[in-house]
Amino acid sequence: MSLDHRLTPEHEELRRTVEAFAHDVVAPKIGDLYERHEFPYEIVAEMGRMGLFGLPFPEEYGGMGGDYLALGIALEELARVDSSVAITLEAGVSLGAMPLYLFGTEEQKREWLPRMCSGEILGAFGLTEPGAGSDAGGTRTTAVREGDEWVINGSKCFITNSGTDITGLVTVTAVTGRKADGRPEISSIIVPSGTPGFTVAAPYSKVGWNSSDTRELSFDGVRVPLANLVGQEGRGYAQFLRILDEGRIAISALATGLAQGCVDESVKYAKERHAFGKSIGDNQAIQFKLADMEMRAHMARIGWRDAASRLVSGEPFKKEAAIAKLYSSTVAVDNARDATQIHGGYGFMNEYPVARMWRDSKILEIGEGTSEVQRMLIARELGFAG
């Protein structure tokens, strides 16, 4: 395939539109919301009206008829300004709506996707558990058939978009049986918000992503129809592996945006800040640091766009997605650290965007597959067992 990842005119128009939105709408508001740990409802509503939540979905389900590259472009431009807004979009699309689009029944798609694509409601994906993070095969939540219903018991943690005022559903992974060798059969089941027995805890107190909704969930005798099963019974494990493969591309795009945002803010600051009679940007030490930051962001962009292009064209992309996620998350942390250093004491003040970026960067090496997991995946693709 071609390695030319320059954008088509349509994709470039989208990029410019989201770039303007991020700077004109998100940037002036998000700082105060972030410090108050408030979810950006007005911003999310505007994103819904723009069609961002429907970017990769067909028009028949209320989407924009775009592709995963379009989603990545939007995520990168948003994350250049703020990651809480970007992760709300990423989780709403990749984790909330995508499982239903890829594996749901026609009835499930028509019931839920139009409202998710418009941003009227958000969906969440209940995978991680207190005792089963990267080891998703260690799921303890159970779903037992009783008549024409599933009865769900268990808990989930670190679930994004799960407790907002506009959250409509959580797709939950649960053990629904055992294989011949004793291993659990895991299925995915839709649990609408407000279902009796489904409890959403208070928001976590987090280091970063303070305007993103993240909560612990509990299920105590939760009853939903058997028709809420997503895909085939016992195929939930395989489904979430596919979801995470795609999601890594989206997280990589987000991480690239954060890395580029660090460059943007640091270049501006280096030109404006004067010390010893000249701008600090006149110092070669600062110039070289900025050059390294720009190089990292550029290479991260090539990585996620390559993986997205492979996904869109129907080619294998698992290894490329893991590489992109591993590299871009590392780059985001490195650039956030260097941006803070360039800003000096001001970089430690929350009124400056780089302080927010520094707080937001670390989770990118953990969420949707830790850096260690990415290295495992890459090694497996190279032919090593593990």
Same domain, 255 and 364: yes
Q: Is residue 96 part of a domain?
A: yes
Answer whether residue 3 is part of any domain.
Answer: no
For the question of residue 368 being annotated catalytic, the response is: yes
Do residues 288 and 360 lie in contact, with contact meaning Cβ atoms separated by under 8 Å? Answer: no
Please count the structural domains in the chain: 3
Angle at 23 between CA 19 and CA 27, to 5 degrees: 135
Residue 13 lies in a domain: yes
Q: Verify that 307 and 249 share a domain, yes or no.
A: yes
Phi/psi of residue 185, each to 5°?
-95, 120
Residues 205, 252 within the same domain: no
pLDDT the model gives residue 133: 66
Residue 385 has a pLDDT of: 84
Do 307 and 377 share a domain, yes or no? yes
On whether residue 270 sits in a domain, the answer given is yes
> Domain ends where: 234, 262, 280?
234
Judgement on whether residues 195 and 291 belong to the same structural domain of the protein: no
Q: Could you tell me the CATH number of the domain that includes residue 60?
A: 1.10.540.10
**Residue 248 belongs to some domain of the structure:** yes
222 & 147 share domain: yes
**Which residue ranges in the chain fall short of pLDDT 50?**
1-2
CATH number reported for the structural domain that contains residue 374 in this entry: 1.20.140.10
The reported pLDDT for the residue numbered 1 is 46
Of the chain, the percentage scoring pLDDT greater than 70 comes to 97
Q: Are residues 135 and 90 in the same domain?
A: no
The answer to whether residues 20 and 87 belong to one domain is yes
Whether 360 maps to a domain, the answer reads yes
Active-site position among 129, 294, 320, 368: 368
The reply to whether 344 falls in a domain is yes
Confidence (pLDDT) at 138: 81
Are 198 and 215 within one domain?
A: yes
pLDDT for 241: 87
> Which of 72, 88, 122 is the endpoint of a domain?
122
* 321-368 per-position pLDDT tens digit: 999 999 999 999 999 999 999 999 999 999 899 999 999 999 999 998
Same domain, 127 and 117: no
> Which CATH number belongs to the domain containing residue 178 in this structure?
2.40.110.10
Same domain flag for 258 and 281: yes
Evaluate whether residue 91 is within a structural domain.
Answer: yes
Residues 186 and 95 in one domain: no
Domain holding 333, by residue range, is 238-381
* Of 206, 234, 262, the domain-final residue: 234
